[in-house]
Amino acid sequence: MAGCGSWVFFLTVCSASLFEASSDIKVTIPVGKFFTHELFRETFQNDFEPLGKVYGILYNDPIIFKCNKQNFPDLPEWLRFTQRNPYDNGFLYGTPMSPGKSIIENSEHKVLSSYTAENIYATNQRSYDTVRHLLIIKVVPDKILPYQVEVFIKLREIEKVLPSTVQDEIKQDLQKLWDTETLEMINITNALDRGGRVPLPLAGHFEGVYVKVGSEEYFSKCLLRVLTLENKKQCKEEAKIKVPGECHFCINPSNCITWCKTELFDLTKMKPKPPAPTMGSGILEAGEDFKPLESPPNRDYFPDYIVTVIVPLILAIILFLLLAYIMFGRREGIGKRNARTNQIQLYHHYTIHENTDELRTMAGNRGVPPPLSTLPMFNSRTGDRASPLQSDSIPLIMAQQDPYSDTLPRK
């Protein structure tokens, strides 16, 4: 029994090593066709625990995928990666638009193609183990489909559309809408990558996806309704689009398209790209000698002088005269102002000025007698001073003696 167990262990280790040695994945995709590669968590989970199935130990660990081009920090410009949650599968998706410039020589002929090696790293969040897979993508040239349609699906997210089963459902609906079976998936893009807003984290709110398909057959009548003036007017007014029954092919409500965001692309009518410029020898052709002008033409600077100097000066003078008139020409004068002022108010005003002048005079000479306004029982109107014993009134300002008057020098 012990020998049998050791043989089982040996065969398991050998099978695991062979599986890891053959973990490199090679795919070939044509230019202009949509590519999707799903990273299954179960596959990498078996790499973390190769003996788990033998001993009946199964784990459901969170796994985070990280992808990059070999010897480069990021993915190619046409390839994108998404994984919503560590417990979800990851997806590599994109559409290559050029076969590249690498030339691979064989003994018989040359094939223009591009090899892209992608590193896929899976990290186990429980044990922090890391597994590396290599994905080799070969992009070969192919014919670009002349007629393409891009639709917007509002009630979908990119992770829910990338599985092959969902792509087949959307493709079947679009085949009925286009009235053709020769339909190819060209691209699927997240609405957030096209400037869309992040939806609220509530039920019924989705990011939305753009799906582009193509065919060699011309557009159907239902698709041509997008180009009609009536449809454009309704979309501009944000009114509800009335889709006829023969153009409504939406079996699953989540796959229904938004008609106002549907675009048709006819590549047969597009202008061809201009030819590339021809490279010359780099030497100028022989010709006549350069003859510069003897003197520059005369120019009259007087209008510029008027605009930059005279006009601002005139405006400054006008503003100065207007300000002078407001400040001096509009004043009513002291006599006119006093005539319109109440006498009690004028007396109070003059009393304040007199007291102020008196206090300023005292500030220069501290040896003078105290002012009358500070004496007890002082009558501000008559100037008389009554004895405190003969008056029942209480002085408003009590006379106080400066405690520091004896220490200050006197004149």
Shared domain for 133 and 178, answered yes or no, is: no
Would you say residue 73 lies in a domain? yes
Do 50 and 115 belong to one domain? yes
Question: Where is the domain boundary, 270, 295, 316?
Answer: 270
139 and 150 housed in the same domain: no
Cα–Cα dist 222/279, whole Å: 49
Within a domain: 183: yes
Q: Is residue 285 part of a domain?
A: no
Q: What residues of the chain score a pLDDT lower than 70? A: 1-23, 48-58, 100-127, 239, 244-245, 366-411
Residues 251 and 328 in one domain: no
Of 270, 289, 317, the domain-final residue: 270
Tell me: do 124 and 189 sit in the same domain.
no
Residue 155 and residue 64 share a domain: no
Query: Looking at the domain assignment, is residue 381 inside a domain?
Result: no
Name the domain count of the chain: 3
153 and 233, same domain (yes or no): yes
Instruction: Single out the residue of 229, 227, 231, 248 nearest to residue 240, CA to CA.
Output: 231
- 333 shares a domain with 266: no
- Could you tell me if residue 374 is inside a domain? no
Same domain, 235 and 321: no
Residues 153 and 137 placed together within one structural domain of the fold: no
Q: Based on the domain organization, do 246 and 152 belong to the same domain?
A: yes
pLDDT of residue 403: 46
Say how far apart CA 335 and CA 394 lie, in whole Å: 38
- For residue 66, tell me if it sits in a domain: yes
Residue-number span of the structural domain to which 325 is assigned: 304-346
pLDDT at position 345 is 86
Asked if 42 and 80 sit in the same domain, the reply is: yes
Q: Examine residue 355 and state whether it is found in any structural domain, yes or no.
A: no
Does the residue 9 lie in any domain? no
